Amino acid sequence: MKKILIATGGSGGHVIPSLSIYDALKEDYEVKISTDLRGSKFINNKNYDYSLIDVPNLFSNLLLLPYNLIKFFISIIKSYKYIKSNNFNILISTGGYMSLPLCLASNLLNLKIYIFEPNSVLGRANKLMLIFAKRIICYEKNLKGISKRFSNKIYLVKPLLRKEIYKYKKNEKMVVTGKKKILIIGGSQGANFFDEFITKIIIKLSKTQKIQVLQQVINTNSRENIKELYQKNHIEHELFHFDDNLIIKAINYDLAITRSGASAISELGYLNIPFVAIPYPYAKDNHQYYNAKFYEKNKSCWLIMQKDIDENNFTDLIMKIFQDQNEYFSKKNNLIKLTKENTWEKNKSKLIELINEY
């Protein structure tokens, strides 16, 4: 039986697809996950077999670069020993700097390497490892940042969602009346803006609309401050930091205001929840903008840049979305068309077909 190691870590955007890959392959192959300390918080160790190999961010502090370089080389040695002792023969990397030691060690040990890119722009770690990879698994044929000489390595799949997402009934509401239910997803980066600015917008909207909010917040202090503001303004709310069941709770919500990480907007799209995308402006290679741009081109979301937002124009946009329901349901119907062929069975078959390709 083929033994597969999935290398992941860092943010939920890297880890969540790795769990989908694990679930798709575990019945046919022996599969394990390797992650770093940051990534481990997104993994339920009761459901997933994973090992911890922590990797330093080389450029997080230039003063510590020599020390981090030593730690990085140690992580390559640890990765080499781990892979060899477990007799893996395939590596699937979901990108990020934390995947590099495992990719380098896998290349030294002549493993078949597959890399996964959920974003519309090829990540820097994946770009470095593409030369060693058999294939790059991605969602778009015209992946930005990939050299033409590697375009034959592209292997297209539909967005990889968590297995449980496919079990739930999609949002099929065909009218929005009364209480407006708004989901707010600030993501793991740049959530301060959502905590401060979007909270003000919700309070402003509540003066003329009955609002219910399900909102991600950055930390306990923010949770307490926002809770107090919402209670004061009689806004029905639920606040969370990270929640495995977030999207399930949000199925009947009318609108999402969100960053545009690939996993978040793929899940929103699949469940037919129309969304306003505000890309994180400091994302590497502006990949969040291009993730959202794909949906905007397909007329299935609203896209606004953080630098272009002020309280009045953003409040007006949200008001218009609820008032002009022709546009709202046009975007919702486009989401339905865009995601109708995304099924668990099809993605599982595509991944198995890939593993058996060589």
What digits encode the pLDDT tens for the residues 3-26?
A: 999 999 888 788 989 999 999 999
- Rounded to whole angstroms, the Cα distance separating 69 from 56 reads 8
Tokens of 197: 């600015």
> How far is CA 36 from its chain centroid?
17
- Give me the residue label for tokens 């060899």: 84
pLDDT confidence of residue 28 = 95
Mean pLDDT of 205-222: 88
Same domain, 291 and 320: yes
Q: Note whether 331 and 300 are within 8 A (CB).
A: yes
pLDDT confidence of residue 150 = 95
Q: Degrees (nearest 5) of the Cα angle 170, 173, 175?
A: 165
Same domain, 177 and 96: no
Q: Which residues are CB-contacts of 207 (< 8 A; sequence separation ≥ 6)?
A: none
Mean pLDDT of 169-179: 82
Mean pLDDT of 49-60: 81
- Rounded to whole angstroms, the Cα distance separating 128 from 4 reads 21
Mean pLDDT of 15-42: 92
pLDDT at 277 over 80: yes
Q: What is the pLDDT of residues 109-168, one digit of tens each?
A: 999 999 999 999 999 999 999 999 999 999 999 999 999 999 999 999 999 998 888 988
pLDDT band at 188 (very low <50, low <70, confident <90, very high): low
pLDDT at 241 over 90: no
Closest CA to 302 of 331, 282, 267, 269: 331
pLDDT band at 244 (very low <50, low <70, confident <90, very high): low
Same domain, 350 and 223: no
Considering the chain, what is the average pLDDT of its residues?
A: 90
Least trusted range by pLDDT, from 157-161, 176-180, 300-304: 176-180
The kind and range of the H/E element at 4 are strand 3-7
Closest CA to 287 of 119, 94, 117: 119
- Give me the residue label for tokens 């865009």: 338
Q: What is the pLDDT of residues 61-118, one digit of tens each?
A: 777 778 888 888 999 999 999 999 999 999 999 988 889 999 999 999 999 999 999 9
Same domain, 268 and 320: yes
Same domain, 314 and 204: yes
Same domain, 270 and 152: no
More confident residue, 347 or 192: 347
- Rounded to whole angstroms, the Cα distance separating 75 from 86 reads 16
Could you tell me the end-to-end alpha-carbon distance of the chain, in angstroms, rounded to an integer?
A: 14
Could you list the beta-strand ranges (E) of 229-345. Answer: 236-240, 255-258, 275-277, 302-303
Domain total of the chain = 2
pLDDT at 305 over 80: yes
Same domain, 27 and 126: yes
Q: 64-68, 190-194, 255-259 — which one is most confidently predicted on average?
A: 255-259
Q: Degrees (nearest 5) of the Cα angle 283, 120, 52?
A: 65
pLDDT confidence of residue 8 = 94
For residue 79, the domain's CATH number is 3.40.50.2000
- Rounded to whole angstroms, the Cα distance separating 76 from 56 reads 11
Closest CA to 153 of 196, 113, 94: 113
What is the DSSP-derived secondary structure letter of residue 170?
P
Same domain, 137 and 195: no
pLDDT confidence of residue 154 = 97
Closest CA to 215 of 176, 178, 177, 255: 255
CA within 13 Å, CB half, 187: 24
- Rounded to whole angstroms, the Cα distance separating 38 from 282 reads 20
Same domain, 150 and 199: no
pLDDT at 190 over 70: no
Tokens of 33: 């996950």
pLDDT confidence of residue 284 = 80
Share of the chain residues as helix, strand and coil, in percent rounded to the nearest 5: 45, 15, 35
More confident residue, 159 or 192: 159
- What proportion of the chain, given as a percentage, has pLDDT over 70? 97
Mean pLDDT of 235-257: 83
Same domain, 68 and 210: no
Same domain, 174 and 276: yes
Same domain, 16 and 86: yes
- Rounded to whole angstroms, the Cα distance separating 92 from 98 reads 13
- Rounded to whole angstroms, the Cα distance separating 295 from 177 reads 25
Q: Note whether 64 and 44 are within 8 A (CB).
A: no
pLDDT confidence of residue 19 = 94
Q: Dihedrals φ, ψ of 24, to 5°?
A: -70, -30
pLDDT confidence of residue 243 = 66
pLDDT confidence of residue 189 = 57
Domain that holds residue 323: 166-339
Residue 151 CB coordination number (10 Å): 12
